[in-house]
Structure 1
Amino acid sequence: MKKLVIGTVAAAMLATATLAAEYTLKFSHVVSANTPKGKAAEFFEKRLEELSGGRIDVQVYPSSQLYNDNAVVKALRLDSVQMAAPSFSKFGKIVPQLALFDLPFLFKDVDHLHRVQDGEVGEKLKEMVSAKGIVALDFWDAGFKQFSSSKKAIVMPEDAEGQKFRIMSSKVLEAQIKAVGGNPQMMPFSEVYSGLQQGVIDAAENPISNIYTKKFHEVQKYLTMSDHGYLGYLVVMSKKFWNSLPADLQANVKQAMKEATAEERKLAQALDKEQFEEIQKYAKETGNLEIITLTPEQREAWRKVESTIYPEFYDKDKIGKDLIEGALNTK
């Protein structure tokens, strides 16, 4: 009889928990669960479920289990999925102004970057995205980009002259390489390793996470810690789902996202440090890689050359002078 009572209570509790979830939020992303983005998504899941008292059931789907980044924006508009965190490049056609983050040497350091994202400029960009039928919540880090080469160490701007650089499809990145006399080559990311190995391209720009996980440092002779550009993600939500939430649950989403963003940024910086130490170890053990860190004077020489491209993107249909100057002037 006692077992029957316990079983009945457990079933009742399970039924109550199931009924308590008034909303289901599917969070789709393309990286593995053990990455900073993946861990932050799980942090968000636990925190929102806590804050909402179980009224929102968050289900995280990593590693493109539901959608890849090319398809997810359409899925969000249809409310087939409720949340995603695509890279900025996936918004290029609907909000080209996000190319602000491609501009070279725009940010002094990671603290300056975050002040821009969390301030007036970041709010303007999120409003532009939200005006396109999806709700922009916050910016998450992938990391700063570094130069690498097999042809010549990239220390001063003139060292890039004549080198073939792999770039993502971006007018800003094309202008960035041309400004220093380099030859920009658009190439799918999946082909970069073989391109570097076979000499189809001489150089590339990547965050440490890409360099380390894809072993680019093993097919390059020089790595320059330049922090010249930035890669990041924008966490977005289905507008239909957002509008269906009462004000108190919207407040819960904002709070959970604020905390998850702080966690993601911390995780991204820790992983960057850890992976760079592994690359340094490889360089020391093999002698096959020279690592250069730009001095403040060398960075300034680069900034002077590269900032000459900024006016090319003053047009509001490209990036906009107000956004570029707003980022530069953010204290």
Structure 2
Amino acid sequence: MKKFALALFLLSFGFILAACGGGEETSGGSGGEGESGVQETTIKFSHVVAENTPKHQGALAMKEYIEKESDGKITVEIYPNSSLFGDQDEYQNLVSNNVQFIAPDLSKFVGNNPQFNVPSLPFMFDNDEEAIAFWDGEKGQEILSSLEGDGVLGLKMWPNGGKHVTNNERPIDSPDDFDGLKFRTQGGQVLEAIYSTLGAGSESIPFGELYTALDQGVVDGQENTFSNIESKKFDEVQKHMTVMNHTRVDYAIFTNTDFWEGLNEETKAIVEAGVEEGTKVAREEAISLNEKAYELLKERGEVEIIELTPEQVEVFRTELQPIYDEFEEEIGADVYEAAREAAGQ
């Protein structure tokens, strides 16, 4: 009996030691705050636009910084042109942590939070600087943080620029010219209301499928930035382009919260700095690439270009002003106020 009791005691003591040791190993290998040194990891960054765009240039700058500063312990894989995930499934795969970063058009989230309609407010921002001022401000950061319930964290806004309209039917220089046409938009309540107000239809089509949809006449036209129109060669399948700057394409870089919180301090510091570097480059490239793209579209001469006069723009502003009253309660008077302050209105 004594031998049995001693054996039982030693066996129990061994289990206690094993449990303590196992707890320490789990904590140390969790990849969280308890681990020191840069963690070896692979980060996937998926986006839907071409390589010669501000978004891709920002992603490349982010990749270069993170891999260099981590001495290669962190690998960043970039998947452009919907080559990994497209408009319709990139968010779900971010939620599932199948990809760690995406940089979608903010209008994709209007179903989650109607305040993401801000880039679609007609003629709200005249340029990138005004839009950046809003999204870097308190109200903009609040909106970017509103998806945390899904396990998604918004970090920084990456601008693409003002949007312009192309179509295959007729030159557009007044609101009446939209009547009866059908346009592809990114989707959202405000964009639908804009085209409805102008007497046109709208349809949401994934960006990667847009060239084919235009070529086959599924829609008459679309709205986009110069860099997106040029890089995707929409001028090959469109006859007319009106320079409007009526709404915007603005992206933001989003990450998975489980991934983000699983980084230790040293690793997260490198990734955060990489995001900052990517943001700097993306914002710089948005201006220069749009300017270059516009010149290339002129040089190619595939599409007729209509540049609106200030008086013609004012006619559109007046026509679309009721949109603000329609969505003030849904988006919020405080959001309107912050956006107008950023725009210097």
TM-score by length of 1: 0.80
**Equivalent residue number for residue 115 of structure 2:** 97
Contact 1:25 1:82 in 2 (8 A): no
Contact 1:21 1:54 in 2 (8 A): no
How far apart, CA to CA, are the structure 2 residues paired with 1:165 and 1:260?
32
**Equivalent residue number for residue 58 of structure 1:** 75
- Determine whether 1:328 maps to 2:337: no
3-state SS in 2 of match to 1:37? helix
- Determine whether 1:27 maps to 2:39: no
Cα distance, 1:200 vs structure 2:
5.6
- Determine whether 1:292 maps to 2:309: no
How far apart, CA to CA, are the structure 2 residues paired with 1:312 and 1:276?
33
How far apart, CA to CA, are the structure 1 residues paired with 2:206 and 2:177?
25
The letter for the 2-side match of 1:104 is P
Deviates more, 1:152-161 or 1:260-269: 152-161
How far apart, CA to CA, are the structure 2 residues paired with 1:197 and 1:250?
45
The letter for the 2-side match of 1:328 is R
RMSD: 2.9
- Determine whether 1:239 maps to 2:253: no
Cα distance, 1:59 vs structure 2:
1.8
**Equivalent residue number for residue 58 of structure 2:** 40
Q: How does 1:130-141 map to 2 (within 5 A)?
A: 130-141=148-159
How far apart, CA to CA, are the structure 2 residues paired with 1:196 and 1:22?
46
How far apart, CA to CA, are the structure 1 residues paired with 2:209 and 2:100?
32
Deviates more, 1:177-186 or 1:105-114: 177-186
3-state SS in 2 of match to 1:268? helix
Q: List per-residue Cα deviations over 1:235-268 (Å, max 9, x = no partner).
A: 1112112222344544443332222111012223
> Percent same amino acid at aligned positions?
33
**Equivalent residue number for residue 170 of structure 1:** 188
**Equivalent residue number for residue 306 of structure 1:** 320
Cα distance, 1:204 vs structure 2:
2.6
Contact 1:145 1:226 in 2 (8 A): yes
Contact 2:242 2:305 in 1 (8 A): yes
Cα distance, 1:187 vs structure 2:
4.8
Cα distance, 1:28 vs structure 2:
2.1
- Determine whether 1:212 maps to 2:230: yes
Residue among 80, 83, 104 paired with 1:86 = 104
Q: List per-residue Cα deviations over 1:135-193 (Å, max 9, x = no partner).
A: 21111133321012343322222332333333343221111012223333455556655
The letter for the 2-side match of 1:40 is G
| CA 1:247–1:157: 2 relative to 1, 3 Å | same
Q: How does 1:187-206 map to 2 (within 5 A)?
A: 187=205, 189=207, 192-193=210-211, 196=214, 201-206=219-224
Contact 1:33 1:62 in 2 (8 A): no
**Equivalent residue number for residue 70 of structure 1:** 88
Contact 2:39 2:263 in 1 (8 A): no
**Equivalent residue number for residue 15 of structure 1:** none
The letter for the 1-side match of 2:43 is K
Unaligned runs of 5+ in 2: 1-35
The letter for the 2-side match of 1:293 is E
TM-score by length of 2: 0.77
Deviates more, 1:230-239 or 1:89-98: 89-98
How far apart, CA to CA, are the structure 1 residues paired with 2:45 and 2:321?
36
Contact 1:41 1:60 in 2 (8 A): no
| CA 1:181–1:251: 2 relative to 1, 3 Å | same
How far apart, CA to CA, are the structure 2 residues paired with 1:240 and 1:195?
37
Q: Which has the larger radius of gyration?
A: 2
| CA 1:305–1:43: 2 relative to 1, 3 Å | same
**Equivalent residue number for residue 278 of structure 1:** 296
Unaligned runs of 5+ in 1: 1-18
How far apart, CA to CA, are the structure 1 residues paired with 2:223 and 2:101?
29
How far apart, CA to CA, are the structure 2 residues paired with 1:241 and 1:188?
27
How far apart, CA to CA, are the structure 2 residues paired with 1:113 and 1:94?
21
| CA 1:115–1:176: 2 relative to 1, 3 Å | same
**Equivalent residue number for residue 10 of structure 1:** none
- Determine whether 1:226 maps to 2:244: yes
The letter for the 2-side match of 1:329 is E
Q: List per-residue Cα deviations over 1:78-124 (Å, max 9, x = no partner).
A: 33332222232443433332122122212122221111122223212
